Amino acid sequence: MNKKLLAGLAAASFLAGGGGTTALAAVAAPAATASTAAVASSTSGMPDHGPLGSLVANGTITKAQAIAIHNALISYVRGHWRSVLDAVLNPLVKAHTITQAQAKAVIAAFAQRM
């Protein structure tokens, strides 16, 4: 399950077109219902770059389909941010890269923005 969550986070960051920062911004964005998130995301449009932009450009998928995929991934990441953080931070704590206190601080910082 954790691998799926991490894959979702990675996919959302690339599909959003802004790299990892976009995914973290999406995770840390204020919570909204799925329909609100979908409306806000679709009205802002899709980036013209990244994997979905390339698929739209070559006719594999339509822009509407790209927006639907993008919105679904962003909604998933927003709904699973805590599990994603646990999956990312726990191995870092076990490897002594960060302390448990630092992991808790990261989680608290994300929770304040949710």
For 66-108, what is each residue's pLDDT tens digit? 999 999 998 988 889 999 999 999 999 999 999 999 999 999 9
Q: Is residue 110 part of a domain?
A: no
Q: Is residue 49 part of a domain?
A: yes
If you average pLDDT over residues 21-45, what whole number do you get?
44
Q: Is residue 96 part of a domain?
A: no
pTM of the model: 0.52
Q: Is residue 105 part of a domain?
A: no
Q: Note down the domain range covering 36.
A: 2-81
Q: Could you say which DSSP state residue 98 is in?
A: S
If you average pLDDT over residues 2-18, what whole number do you get?
51
Q: Is residue 111 part of a domain?
A: no
Q: Is residue 89 part of a domain?
A: no
Q: Could you say which DSSP state residue 95 is in?
A: T
Q: Is residue 92 part of a domain?
A: no
Q: Smallest Cα–Cα separation from 28: which of 108, 98, 92?
A: 108
Assign 3-state DSSP to the chain and report helix, strand, coil percentages, each to 5: 75, 0, 25
On the 0-12 / 13-18 / 19+ scale of CB atoms within 10 A, 30 is exposed
State the total domains in the chain. 1
The pLDDT assigned to 25 comes to: 44
Q: Is residue 73 part of a domain?
A: yes
